[in-house]
Structure 1
Amino acid sequence: MLERIAGNRELKQDLKTALGSGRIAHSILLVGEPGCGAGFAARCLAADYLYPNGGPHAEAVLRGQDTESIVVRGEGASGQIKVEAIRDARQNIQKSALSSDAEGRVLFIYGAQNLNGASANAMLKIMEEPPEGVMFLLTASSAAAVLPTIRSRCAAYTMAPVPTEECAAALRTAQPELNEQNAQDLAFLYEGHIGLCLKALTDPAAKAARAAARELCRQAQQQDTYRVQALLAGYEKDKDSAAAVLWQATQAASAALRRPGFDGVQPDTAARILRAAEAACRAMKANGNLRLALTVCGMEMAAR
């Protein structure tokens, strides 16, 4: 299953060698920016660990449906992992029976940077005396963001974005109806982050945010202050959606700086969009007035 990971050849080879030698660490931390595929890579590794010969159960691991996989994720907007979730996972490991065809059991901790003091301490107790046959697979957006006590007990591997060509090929495989040019454009726009590309294609909220951002950039390019302001005014009561649109706008602007004219946006406009969107996002994170932040943002994006 590790071969299904796009790019990251050294990482795949290192993990395959460790598995083949029987010297794979019982605690592994896979680090990667959102969209790099750390979660998918964790499932691929788990499938090869649990079911070396592949088969339906290995495929179930990739879908997150295997009974030998225990999953812990954060809750709420903060994504914080609570101590109760770790305690429940520990009980599940201890009480559940191992199936006859699995080589062990896997505990996934998605977003290990969101372990707080209490949940990290509870996790440490399991990691320091791991049950036989259990592998801990943690993912994180940044190694530095993971508490040192957890990080020091893991073998860490870094996931990287893949080259545009490989990213486009992966998108065509996942979405056969996607034409080559659109696949190439998405791969370039999201800089080889396959997960972000797929989300833009399949997630309704992400699709809507991207469509709004494209229109925002188009009107900013035309310096149409009225339409830019009107579009942003639609998000004055929805902070999360506003942030999503502005993030997509920064992605589009960054692409236009790297490739002038990308999606119809020129570098001078792209620079304005980036400055305005980033300032608005900072104001929103500081709990500033959303309406004011979006108004100022719109004026600066369409400035003449």
Structure 2
Amino acid sequence: MSTTLGMLGRLAGNHALKEDLTTALRSGRLPHSILLVGEPGCGAGFAARCLGADYLYPQGGAHAEAVLRGQDSECLTIRGEGASGQIKVERIRDAREKIQHSALSADAAGRVLFIYGAQNLNGASANAMLKIMEEPPEGVLFLLTASSAAAVLPTIRSRCAAYTVAPVPEAECAAALRAALPQIDDRQAADLAFLYEGHIGSALAVMNDPAVKAARAAARDLCRQAEVRDTYRAAALLAKYEKDREGAARLLVQTRTAASAALRRPGFDGLSAPAAARLARAAGDAAKAMAGNANLRLTLTLLAAAATAQDP
């Protein structure tokens, strides 16, 4: 960890971002509402926790480490719920009550409210959030994350100072993965960095999260079936997800990621460029259909057929 950047020093890359936030924090000019924008896997959530730790516990220590783990008592966390990921107004109201009517710990410099996925605030929950942000309780820092600033409601976005958390260069990503995952070798780290294009969080998730790991394995299997145009085996693989919309969504993310890697480096995951292009189109169409709440069984059946179709 950087001794000059505090916990923010643990965030890979993003050097200007870390310097700007640290300077603002130490000079007392940190805005009370900050929006950290980054594609999934870039580390916006981790950056938010690092900043929250530095805000609450400038000297570091066990409490700061607890913030990074999401376990500190002075932090309130709100995330979306269910398949839609929407943030319900009840969650905002509950957080407001806790902020206004609970006492601060003597060890902390304030309190932090994390809102992960602020693009999932709907009209009602955004209005409830605005009531807190417009008259913020003393000592409370609002840290919001979003996959896109444009996806956040303007009423919320305009109340925040926005910063972008970017993916890191592949070499830096590979080094971070080797440090976090001692069980992998340099080649594996480099392949993961290439596959996820410097998105450290995505690479870590595929190694540490059983659901993501399973989706990655299934995506590699689908790549094999697409390469040899085995419609039967592709359909059999995808049939396992006919009643698992969340699992199917994870599979599509990993499939599109693998296809993208093979387009950049033909042969990655055993997928030729023509097969990768075909699979990318098929998975993209399936993702759009799922977003439109299409019948999942039919969507997966069409995906199997399109992924293994003969080229015109």
Scaled to the shorter chain, the TM-score interval is: over 0.9
The 1-side partners of 2:293 and 2:131 are apart by: 38
**Do structure 1's residue 299 and structure 2's residue 305 form an aligned pair?**
yes
**Do structure 1's residue 253 and structure 2's residue 259 form an aligned pair?**
yes
232-241 vs 118-127, which moves further? 232-241
How many residue pairs were aligned?
Answer: 304
The 1-side partners of 2:97 and 2:231 are apart by: 58
**Do structure 1's residue 244 and structure 2's residue 250 form an aligned pair?**
yes
For residue 212 of structure 2, the aligned residue among 175, 197, 206 is 206
The 1-side partners of 2:261 and 2:214 are apart by: 19
Q: For the aligned residues, what is the CA RMSD? A: 1.5
Q: Share of identical aligned residues, percent?
A: 73
1:9 aligns to what?
15
**Do structure 1's residue 187 and structure 2's residue 174 form an aligned pair?**
no
The 1-side partners of 2:101 and 2:270 are apart by: 58
1:234 aligns to what?
240
1:288 aligns to what?
294
Question: How big is the shift at 1:284?
Answer: 2.9
Counterpart mapping for 1:22-41 below 5 A? 22-41=28-47
Structure 2 unaligned regions, length at least 5: 1-6
1:83–1:283 Cα change, 3 Å: closer
Counterpart mapping for 1:11-90 below 5 A? 11-90=17-96
1:138 aligns to what?
144
1:217–1:27 Cα change, 3 Å: same
What SS does the aligned partner of 2:197 have?
coil
Question: How big is the shift at 1:247?
Answer: 2.3
Cα deviation code 1:108-143 (max 9, x no counterpart): 111111112222112111111111111111111111
75-84 vs 158-167, which moves further? 75-84
Question: How big is the shift at 1:103?
Answer: 1.3
1:218 aligns to what?
224
Structure 1 unaligned regions, length at least 5: none
Taking structure 2 as the reference length, the TM-score comes to 0.93
Counterpart mapping for 1:119-198 below 5 A? 119-198=125-204
Quick check: 2:79–2:116 contact (8 Å CA) kept in 1? Answer: yes
What SS does the aligned partner of 2:106 have?
coil
The 1-side partners of 2:128 and 2:243 are apart by: 39
The 2-side partners of 1:300 and 1:74 are apart by: 33
Q: Which runs of 4+ in 1 moved over 4 A?
A: none
Question: How big is the shift at 1:276?
Answer: 1.4
What SS does the aligned partner of 1:170 have?
helix
Cα deviation code 1:198-236 (max 9, x no counterpart): 111111111111111101111221223332232223333
Q: State the AA in 1 paired with 2:108.
A: A
Q: State the AA in 2 paired with 1:169.
A: A
Question: How big is the shift at 1:90?
Answer: 1.4
What SS does the aligned partner of 1:237 have?
coil
What SS does the aligned partner of 1:60 have?
helix
2:104 aligns to what?
98
Question: How big is the shift at 1:99?
Answer: 1.8
The 2-side partners of 1:261 and 1:33 are apart by: 26
The 2-side partners of 1:160 and 1:75 are apart by: 26
Quick check: 2:83–2:246 contact (8 Å CA) kept in 1? Answer: no
Quick check: 2:116–2:144 contact (8 Å CA) kept in 1? Answer: yes
What SS does the aligned partner of 2:104 have?
coil
Cα deviation code 1:40-89 (max 9, x no counterpart): 10110011111111111111111111111111222222121222211211
